[in-house]
Structure 1
Amino acid sequence: MTNSLSIQDIYVYPIKSLGGIRLAKATVEERGFKYDRRWMLVDQKGVFLSQRTTASLALLRVRLESEGLTVFPVSNSTDQIHIPFDQVGEELAVQVWDDEMLAKTVCKQADDWFSRILGKEVRLVKMPESTVRKVDPKYAPNGEAVSFADGMPYLMIGQNSLDDLNQRLEEEIEMNRFRPNIVFSGGEPFMEDTWDEIQIGDVTFQVVKPCARCVMITIAQETGVKGKEPLKTLATYRATGKKVLFGQNMLALSSGELKVGDKLVPMSYK
């Protein structure tokens, strides 16, 4: 029943492809939750890094503090770098998939720390407010912007959808494989596929399209080890054409604050 739907978890991923942070509440902004994917690592050509090519990014944890971010490897929490929210340097042209945009470098100390930890030359950049990266116009009726996320500001998954998948796997997996922003409890598996517009608390979201999954979901976030699951099993019952679908991408149609425990109400259906 839809009247039993509520927000179970809220996640942000301040640095693209690094560990996520579970929050009790989050501020809804057009390009994603506040702090979500506002930083990322790039190579010497300015191209984004992700777990697809650098699985060890999964082993870097991020802590959200009052003045900035603290990052540390799982293996040694005392080896850490602090990144103040307002620390930026020079402009740098960067690339996320086919999108090119201007970012700001953070500092040489951060570049050196991440390069040492990852064993290759990288730079840490931040998206300034002046950089407006547009969502693909066929999915953004109001010309919405997005952060350094792959393409959409918000990703939502029902806990029962993961439970359904886990019943088909030999070994259960955690929700963190899928890197959602919003996890809701209640209802039937994959009922999120049927929604067009929803309201959570005082905020309205457009449910835009299903999320096509890639090899990144085969990386265990606790170990950084790649396998074949859950992509192999999902492909047997969640494939449309050549895409394997799990979770729903969304746009925020209003701003506000979301809290764990907020009720989710479907307003219209596809």
Structure 2
Amino acid sequence: MSTSESTLPAADVSAQISRLYVYPIKSCAGVQVPSVLLTETGLEFDRAWMLVDEDGSFVSQRELPRMALIQPQIRQYEMVLRAPGMLALHIALDAVEEPLQVKVWDDEVRAYNMGAVAAQWFSDFLSTKEAPRKLRLVRFDPEQQRLSSLKWTGGIEASNQFADGFPVLVISEASLDGLNERLVAAGHAPAAMERFRPNVVVSGVDAHDEDRLDEMLIATAEGHARLKMVKPCPRCPIPNIDPATAISSPEVSDTLQGYRKVDIVGGAIAFGMNAIVLDGVDFELRVGQAAAADYRFD
């Protein structure tokens, strides 16, 4: 029996999904969507593709900020990629080429090459005369399992594709509002949510309440999806990169440094909460759905 989208048990916190984002290619621009399928590896198509160098190691905005300008669009049968000065690149969703081994952080994983045309397109856009690059687009092999850290999941086996470490990233609107109040007070422009690359954004909770939540129930048409918050998300320099221009400046990290050092991740700056999927595989998440969660008491 399906559960009404409006019915959730009483909880410490009542919230609502305000935005949903999918990042088909690791470190390229995200796609804001009104609805998306929840899978065991997170949101459908999230980090299903990745760019690698000649050694098969992943590349990201950390070294190639212009990746932020590559805009994907998922259609029924294909992914369409656009970037300034480039013709659109069409990638079939149901086609891959030869298998190969690639590296994402410390994990060696199986993937599929997406072909010479895609490789040339990315290499052309991301190369400069001073720093030519030979890059390949690869797709995660769904027949394998890449697990999140069991230390943080409490021993629960939670699968990822090419995400840094966990299937889902949750951020509250209030957390961004709090940062932007500080940025504006210091004379800086406010930061867009896209800088922080969340999957699920929630409204109706206090700033950084996501840090203190345990499990979040989401009322979908198919039943209650269940996400478990497992680890604060340490931030690298990517939030300093303006996703509209690919220009980096330090004010976001400098501002966070003043109030977002989190002891549980070694004093690193953290913003948002990594989560794993406990229930709700093949359920549809939608903007506007109600969510509820209890506080975690360690």
Task: Tell me the TM-score normalized by structure 2.
Answer: 0.87
Does residue 56 (structure 1) correspond to residue 66 (structure 2)? The answer is: yes
Aligned to 1:262: 289
* Aligned-residue offset at 1:86: 1.3
Q: Does 1:210 align with 2:214?
A: no
Q: Structure 1: which amino acid aligns with 2:80? A: T
Distance 1:86 1:48 in 2: 22
CA distance in 2 between partners of 1:257 and 1:208 (Å): 22
Is the Cα–Cα contact under 8 Å of residues 161 and 190 in structure 1 kept in the other structure? yes
Secondary structure of the residue aligned to 1:37 is coil
Are positions 1:109 and 2:122 aligned together? no
Alignment partner, residue 246 of structure 1: 271
Identity of aligned residues (%): 37
The corresponding residue for 2:98 is: 90
2:136 pairs, out of 116, 123, 133, with 123
CA distance in 2, matches of 1:86, 1:179: 26
Give the letter for the 2:172 counterpart. Answer: G
The equivalent residue for 2:166 is: 152
Could you tell me how far 1:145 is from its partner in structure 2? 1.1
**8 Å Cα contact 1:87/1:107 also seen in 2:** no
Partner of 1:229: 251
Measured on the aligned residues, the alpha-carbon RMSD in Å equals 1.4
Aligned position for 1:163: 177
2:87 corresponding residue in structure 1 = 79
Structure 2 counterpart of 1:135, from 148, 152, 160: 148
Instruction: Provide the rounded CA distance (Å) in 1 between the counterparts of 2:167 and 2:19.
Output: 17
Query: Which digits, 9 at most, give the CA deviation of each residue in 1:88-123, with x for residues without a partner?
Result: 111111011111111010111111111111112100
Q: In 1, distance between residues paired with 2:12 and 2:277?
A: 20
Could you tell me which runs of 5 or more consecutive residues in structure 2 were left unpaired when the two chains were aligned.
Answer: 1-10, 128-132
Query: Which amino acid letter does the alignment assign opposite residue 275 of structure 2?
Result: M
1:192 is aligned to 210
- For residue 139 of structure 1, report the CA deviation from its aligned partner: 2.1
Which ranges of structure 1 fall in alignment gaps of 5 or more residues? Answer: none
Give CA deviations for 1:159-200 in whole Å, capped at 9, x if unaligned: 011000000002101000000000011121111111011101
Amino acid in the other structure paired with 1:258? L
Report Cα offsets for 1:192-230 as digits up to 9, x if no partner. 111011101120011101100011111000000011021
Structure 1 residue 247, shift from structure 2 partner: 0.2
Q: Does 2:197 align with 1:179?
A: yes
CA contact (8 A) 1:199 1:267 kept: no
Distance across 1 between alignment mates of 2:106 and 2:120: 27
Q: Secondary structure at the match of 1:117?
A: helix
Q: CA deviation at 1:242?
A: 3.4
Q: How many residues align?
A: 268
